[in-house]
């Protein structure tokens, strides 16, 4: 079906005033980039969810990283946008400008070479992301262990998506009629990965791809099951998502990690929603070496409403800082920092 | 033992003299430079264009060029888009202790051939050496002077509603090729678009007086140049996603890295604003030029305003914002 036909079909069947939430930040961005909202009838409201790994990183975890970098002789190795997220004592980018070593890599495997080439230095690799990136980090740790690397430590900020979705549904702050399931995450966990959630809540759930026609195709199915009141868990991205997911990736992941509690911005601490290193990889675990002090400090940046944005409770434009003191050039919160963040999508593509 | 750059090469003494005379002059020498005066003495009559730029690219060698060639073409292009015929350049090197002489020679050779191709002379220069770790192998600053023939400058012509926006070829290649190079990804087709533009801009300005603006979309890409135009001239711009030429490898890489080709740097491209009446003449010229075969009209000036809009392939419209932060790949 081409785009026009899909849009016509959606218009034809859509009657109810409905809210659908896209979990994934990449969906948020693609929906904006292609102006998909403009194509949909006005009674379909798209809400953005918590599917941006940098955005859901909690304030405490950011402060912990900054503290580790400042107080111990550790060079930080990490990815992309994390370096720009402001904590109470500046961002990693700021630390770098002040002379701390902060290395941004594209692939975690680079950290092994860096550690090998500089045996006198100590490195901290920060793993961040959902089920999509965790297998890669797991692979890196397996290699590091095989090669007996002693000057590389690891901090896992990895999180699992179904528990976050569940938390939002449990909070019940907003009416959600259907969920746009994340395409990339589902390639790893499979359609099956969502079954627990679906069976518990019986909420219409459609896994979809990222091309505009794939998104519209998915939305069509979602609207259909909502209108017909026949909730289902549908895989509308069959070309990439298998029923069982990617077994070998999952195997790697659970060779290295086990489920543990994780702290989410906006959602708080959720049991079994994160990945922590299991006993075999303890020697790499920075949390064991310099444990995180639990402290509840008053945040200087408490005007940022990212937490509510992540839960779909407010739109970025409802945040008083949006577009004023908070812009991608000088972000006040992670939702504006990350290229997957909802605030940045609204800002860059002119969200209403 | 490999010959490398040492701190003594920058101390102003015998080693410096040797580096200049036996290496740099050997490649870039000419009657003016060889005099080694404190300033070059040159005669120019008429209106001159004058520009400077510094080059810090890493890796210093990449598919389609290297930092040396880039430092010459980059400055040539800044002159070319203003309608100036490039004449003289200065070259300042900042070398990091430990740079291999072999690599330095390779860069000098590439600069020599670039200078020759563009018909310019390096007339003055400087070389400094910094301690290991205080630089990244080599940085180059170049300054260029060009002369503008009477009547060919576009400067001062008024941009109006209905004017067309042209690009001379596919966008985003330089930036993405460097990024892929850093990732160690190499294929046949991945290559920077690095090229000198004077042979295109100068004849174009001669055949058409309908050119109203030209700029090479380097850092920040085409999107940033369009936003600069919108803000500087108070116009609204609309471009058509379907019309923007993009090579397949650029498209693939941009999807994987999460970087829009419209924000990725180019080194052989020009964004042109022109009078619609001249459309046929300009497009015919461009498409017959080796650097303009894939030229496209990508959009138009819509009237007063200050925003750039993009019409997507699906017929929807959105803002095309100027680049607001570093291009970093997505992690999800
Ligand atoms: S606009 Fe900025 S301050 Fe407001 S919620 Fe978004 S990131 Fe936080």
Beta-carbon count within 10 A of B265 CB: 26
CA distance A205 to A145: 40
At B295, is the secondary structure helix, strand, or coil?
coil
CA distance A335 to A317: 12
Q: How do residues B210-258 score in pLDDT, each as one tens digit?
A: 999 999 999 999 999 999 999 999 999 999 999 999 999 999 998 888 7
CA proximity to A154, closest of A289, A293, A272 = A289
Task: Specify the pLDDT at position A261.
Answer: 93
Instruction: Indicate if the pLDDT at residue A300 is higher than 70.
Output: no
* Partner residue opposite B332 with nearest CB, options A33, A107, A133: A133
β-bridge mates for residue B51, sequence order: B144
Where residue B332 falls among pLDDT bands split at 50, 70, 90?
very low
Q: How do residues B28-86 score in pLDDT, each as one tens digit?
A: 999 999 999 999 999 999 999 999 999 999 999 999 999 999 999 999 999 999 999 99
Considering only CB atoms, which chain A residues are within 8 Å of B321? 347-350
- b (16+ CB within 10 A) / e for A291-324: ebeeeeeeeeeeebbbbbbbbbbbbbeebebbee
C-beta of residue A133 within 8 angstroms of C-beta of residue A51: no
CA distance B233 to B257: 33
The CA distances from residue A340 to A233, A343, B107, B317, in Å, are 25, 9, 39, 20
Mean pLDDT calculated for residue range A117-127: 95
Pairing of strands A44-51, A102-104: unpaired
B321 and A329 within 8 Å at the Cβ level: the answer is: no
What residues have CB less than 8 Å from A157, skipping those under 6 apart?
A53, A57, A61, A126, A127, A128, A262, A274
Considering only CB atoms, which chain B residues are within 8 Å of A52? 332
CA distance A126 to A105: 11
Nearest CA in chain B to A212: B314
Give B183-227 as a DSSP string.
HT---SS--------HHHHHHHHHH-S-EEEEE---TTHHHHHHH
Kindly give the distance from the C-alpha atom of residue A345 to the centroid of ligand 1, in angstroms, as a whole number: 12
For chain A, what's the residue count?
Answer: 352
Here the tokens at position B129 are 């050496």
User: Treating both helix axes as pointing N-terminal to C-terminal, what angle do B67-80 and B101-118 enclose, rounded to 10 degrees?
Assistant: 30
A81 and B328 within 8 Å at the Cβ level: the answer is: yes
Does residue A228 sit within a domain? no
ipTM: 0.72
Interior CA angle at A291 toward A289 and A297, to 5°?
A: 155
Kindly give the distance from the C-alpha atom of residue A312 to the centroid of ligand 1, in angstroms, as a whole number: 13
Does residue A155 sit within a domain? yes
Here the tokens at position A104 are 């941004």
Chain A contact residues (CB < 8 Å to B): 3, 24-26, 32-36, 38-39, 51-54, 79-82, 84, 104, 106-107, 128-130, 132-133, 184, 212, 327-329, 339-340, 347-350
What residues have CB less than 8 Å from B326, skipping those under 6 apart?
A84
Task: Give, rounded to a whole angstrom, the gap between the first and last alpha carbons of chain A.
Answer: 29
Mean pLDDT calculated for residue range A284-290: 95
Does residue A220 sit within a domain? no
B314 and A327 within 8 Å at the Cβ level: the answer is: no
Does residue A351 sit within a domain? no
Task: Assess B206–A contact: CB distance below 8 Å, yes or no.
Answer: no
Gyration radius from chain A CA atoms: 20
Which residues does a 6 A CB cutoff place in the pocket of ligand 1? A 304-306, 309, 316, 319, 321-322, 326, 332-333, 335-336, 343
A340 and B330 within 8 Å at the Cβ level: the answer is: yes
Task: Specify the pLDDT at position A196.
Answer: 96
A34 and B312 within 8 Å at the Cβ level: the answer is: yes
Q: Which long-range contacts (CB under 8 A, 24 or more apart) does B255-258 make?
A: B257/B176, B257/B179, B257/B329, B257/B330, B258/A339, B258/B329, B258/B330
For residue B240, the 8-state DSSP code is E
Kindly give the distance from the C-alpha atom of residue B236 to the centroid of ligand 1, in angstroms, as a whole number: 28
User: How many angstroms away from the CA of A230 is the closest CA of chain B?
Assistant: 30
Considering only CB atoms, which chain B residues are within 8 Å of A35? 312, 314, 316-318
> In which element (H, E) is residue B179 found?
helix B173-183
pTM value is 0.83
CA distance A116 to B85: 51
C-beta of residue A50 within 8 angstroms of C-beta of residue A311: yes
CA proximity to B216, closest of B235, B200, B239 = B200
β-bridge mates for residue A276, sequence order: A258
Q: How far is CA B254 from the centre of its chain?
A: 20
Task: Specify the pLDDT at position A139.
Answer: 96
Q: What range does the domain containing A117 cover?
A: 59-160+247-289
Strands (DSSP E) contained in chain A are 18-24, 44-51, 74-78, 102-104, 122-127, 152-156, 178-181, 205-207, 233-235, 257-264, 268-277
The preferred substitution site among A58, A85, A304, A345 for testing ligand 1, maximizing ligand atoms within 8 Å of CB, is A304
- Please give the CATH number for the structural domain made up of B7-148: 3.30.1330.10
* Partner residue opposite A132 with nearest CB, options B318, B321, B332: B332
Task: Specify the pLDDT at position B325.
Answer: 58
CA proximity to A285, closest of A126, A103, A134, A106 = A126
C-beta of residue A101 within 8 angstroms of C-beta of residue A108: no
Kindly give the distance from the C-alpha atom of residue B14 to the centroid of ligand 1, in angstroms, as a whole number: 59
Q: How do residues A188-214 score in pLDDT, each as one tens digit?
A: 999 999 999 999 999 999 999 999 999
Does residue A15 sit within a domain? no
CA proximity to A231, closest of A313, A183, A169 = A169
Where residue A299 falls among pLDDT bands split at 50, 70, 90?
low
Q: Could you tell me the residue ranges of all domains in chain B?
A: 7-148, 164-319
The atom number, within ligand 1, closest to the CA of A308 reads 5
Where residue A180 falls among pLDDT bands split at 50, 70, 90?
very high
Considering only CB atoms, which chain A residues are within 8 Å of B317? 35, 38
Task: Specify the pLDDT at position B327.
Answer: 55
Instruction: Indicate if the pLDDT at residue A221 is higher than 90.
Output: yes
β-bridge mates for residue A74, sequence order: A122
Q: Which CATH class is domain B164-319?
A: alpha beta
Task: Assess B258–A contact: CB distance below 8 Å, yes or no.
Answer: yes
* Partner residue opposite B314 with nearest CB, options A184, A212, A340: A212
What value does the mean pLDDT of chain B take? 94
For residue B172, the 8-state DSSP code is S
Pairing of strands B164-167, B296-304: antiparallel
B331 and A129 within 8 Å at the Cβ level: the answer is: yes
Strands (DSSP E) contained in A4-101 are 18-24, 44-51, 74-78
Considering only CB atoms, which chain B residues are within 8 Å of A129? 331-332
CATH number for the domain harbouring residue A142: 3.40.50.11740
The atom number, within ligand 1, closest to the CA of A320 reads 4
What is the residue whose two structure tokens read 């499979």?
A190
The CA distances from residue A187 to A83, A134, A136, A247, in Å, are 27, 13, 14, 10
Total number of domains in chain A: 1
Task: Specify the pLDDT at position B326.
Answer: 57
The CA distances from residue A227 to A12, A16, A220, A223, in Å, are 11, 7, 10, 6
CB contacts < 8 A, A to B, total: 76
At A109, is the secondary structure helix, strand, or coil?
coil
Query: Which residue's alpha carbon is nearest to atom 3 within ligand 1?
Result: A304
CA proximity to A22, closest of A209, A147, A295 = A209
Here the tokens at position A143 are 């290699």
For residue B119, the 8-state DSSP code is T
Pairing of strands A233-235, A205-207: parallel
Kindly give the distance from the C-alpha atom of residue B159 to the centroid of ligand 1, in angstroms, as a whole number: 37
Mean pLDDT calculated for residue range B150-154: 93
Same topology for domains B7-148 and B164-319, yes or no? no
Strands (DSSP E) contained in A157-304 are 178-181, 205-207, 233-235, 257-264, 268-277
The CA distances from residue B125 to A9, B81, B88, B91, B274, in Å, are 67, 24, 11, 5, 37
C-beta of residue A80 within 8 angstroms of C-beta of residue A129: no
Task: Specify the pLDDT at position A85.
Answer: 86
Considering only CB atoms, which chain A residues are within 8 Å of B316? 34-36, 38-39
The CA distances from residue A267 to A171, A174, A297, A300, A335, in Å, are 9, 14, 17, 19, 14
A129 and B321 within 8 Å at the Cβ level: the answer is: no
Q: How do residues A87-108 score in pLDDT, each as one tens digit?
A: 777 889 888 988 899 999 888 9
Considering only CB atoms, which chain A residues are within 8 Å of B331? 53-54, 79-82, 128-129, 133
B324 and A81 within 8 Å at the Cβ level: the answer is: no
Test mutation, A1, A36, A37, A38, chain B, max B CBs within 10 A: A38
Mean pLDDT calculated for residue range A18-30: 93
For residue A322, the 8-state DSSP code is B
């Amino acid at each position: 079906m081409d785009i026009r036909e899909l849009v016509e079909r959606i218009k034809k069947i859509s009657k109810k005033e409905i809210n659908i939430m896209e979990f994934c930040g990449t969906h948020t961005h693609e929906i904006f980039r292609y102006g998909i909202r403009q194509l949909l009838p006005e009674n379909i409201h798209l809400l953005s969810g918590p599917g941006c790994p940098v955005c859901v990183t909690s304030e405490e975890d950011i402060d912990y990283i900054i503290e580790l970098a400042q107080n111990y002789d550790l060079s930080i190795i990490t990815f992309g946008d994390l370096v720009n997220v402001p904590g109470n004592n500046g961002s990693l980018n700021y630390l770098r400008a002040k002379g701390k070593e902060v290395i941004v890599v594209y692939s975690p495997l680079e950290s092994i070479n860096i550690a090998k080439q500089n045996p006198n230095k100590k490195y901290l690799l920060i793993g961040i992301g959902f089920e999509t990136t965790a297998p890669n980090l797991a692979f890196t740790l397996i290699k590091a262990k095989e090669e007996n690397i002693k000057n590389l430590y690891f901090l896992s900020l990895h999180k699992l998506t179904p528990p976050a979705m569940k938390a939002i549904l449990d909070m019940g702050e907003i009416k959600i009629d259907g969920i746009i399931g994340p395409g990339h995450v589902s390639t790893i966990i499979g359609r099956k990965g969502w079954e627990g959630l679906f069976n518990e809540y019986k909420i219409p759930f459609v896994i979809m791809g990222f091309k505009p026609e794939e998104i519209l195709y998915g939305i069509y199915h979602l609207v259909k099951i909502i209108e017909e009141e026949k909730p289902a868990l549908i895989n509308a991205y069959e070309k990439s998502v298998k029923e069982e997911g990617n077994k070998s990736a999952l195997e790697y992941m659970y060779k290295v990690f086990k489920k543990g509690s994780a702290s989410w911005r906006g959602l708080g601490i959720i049991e079994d929603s994160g990945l922590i290193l299991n006993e075999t990889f303890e020697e790499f675990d920075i949390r064991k070496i310099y444990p995180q002090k639990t402290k509840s400090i008053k945040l200087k940046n408490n005007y940022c409403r990212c937490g509510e944005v992540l839960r779909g409770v407010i739109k970025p434009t409802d945040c008083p800082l949006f577009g004023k003191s908070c812009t991608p050039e000088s972000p006040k919160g992670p939702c504006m920092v990350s290229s997957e963040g909802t605030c940045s999508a609204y800002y860059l593509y002119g969200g209403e | 033992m490999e010959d490398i750059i040492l701190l003594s090469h920058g101390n102003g003494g015998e080693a410096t003299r040797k580096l200049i005379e036996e290496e740099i002059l050997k490649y870039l020498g000419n009657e003016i430079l060889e005099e080694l005066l404190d300033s070059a003495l040159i005669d120019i009559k008429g209106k001159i264009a004058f520009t400077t730029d510094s080059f810090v690219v890493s890796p210093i060698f990449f598919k389609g060029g290297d930092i040396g060639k880039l430092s010459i073409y980059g400055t040539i292009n800044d002159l070319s888009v203003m309608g100036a015929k490039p004449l003289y350049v200065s070259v300042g090197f900042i070398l990091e202790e430990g740079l291999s002489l072999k690599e330095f020679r390779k860069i000098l050779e590439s600069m020599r051939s670039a200078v020759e191709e563009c018909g310019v002379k390096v007339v003055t220069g400087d070389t400094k050496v910094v301690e290991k770790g205080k630089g990244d192998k080599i940085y180059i600053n170049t300054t260029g002077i060009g002369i503008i023939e009477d009547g060919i400058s576009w400067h001062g012509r008024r941009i109006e509603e209905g004017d067309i926006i042209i690009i001379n070829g596919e966008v985003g290649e330089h930036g993405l090729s460097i990024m892929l190079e850093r990732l160690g990804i190499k294929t046949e087709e991945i290559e920077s678009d690095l090229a000198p533009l004077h042979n295109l801009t100068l004849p174009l300005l001669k055949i058409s007086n309908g050119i109203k603006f030209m700029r090479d979309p380097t850092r920040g890409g085409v999107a940033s140049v369009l936003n600069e135009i919108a803000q500087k001239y108070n116009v609204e711009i609309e471009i058509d996603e379907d019309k923007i030429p993009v090579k397949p490898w650029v498209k693939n890489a941009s999807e994987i890295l999460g970087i829009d080709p419209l924000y990725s740097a180019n080194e052989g491209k020009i964004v042109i604003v022109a009078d619609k009446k001249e459309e046929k003449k300009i497009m015919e010229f461009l498409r017959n030029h080796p650097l303009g075969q894939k030229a496209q009209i990508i959009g138009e000036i819509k009237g007063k305003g200050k925003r750039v809009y993009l019409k997507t392939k699906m017929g929807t419209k959105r803002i095309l914002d100027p680049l607001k932060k570093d291009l970093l790949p997505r992690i999800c």
